[in-house]
Amino acid sequence: MNSEELETPLRDEVERHIRKLIKPLKEEDELRAVLKVKLTKKEFKVLNNWANGEELNPLLEKLSLDEERYKELSSKLIKKLNQEKLKQEMMI
């Protein structure tokens, strides 16, 4: 089975938020490992939540976030994903 057939929700989600991708992103497992190190636990959980299309409210409760804090965290996360240094580590 080639990588095209595998589900890659995390990779798809990251691609959705990166403005300019020069090379393709790493495989799902490798990408997950890089992101786990580079993002805060909350940022990683929010990204995972987006990738899996899960409901938001249970996550907000679990992470003790209100709407405002969630919006801040989300925009910070997207900015982080667009930082050159992180993009280099996420790409093949």
The whole-number average pLDDT for the span 6-24 is: 94
pLDDT above 70 coverage of the chain, percent: 95
Per-residue burial over 33-62, b if 16 or more Cβ lie within 10 Å, else e, is ebbeebbeebbbbbbbbbbeeeeeeebbee
pLDDT digits (tens, 9 = 90+) for 44-60: 999 999 999 999 999 99
Dihedrals phi, psi of 2, to nearest 5 degrees: -85, 170
- Domain regions of the chain by residue span: 9-90
User: Would you place residue 7 in the very low, low, confident or very high pLDDT band (cuts 50, 70, 90)?
Assistant: confident
- pLDDT at residue number 1: 42
| More confidently predicted of 7 and 78 | 78
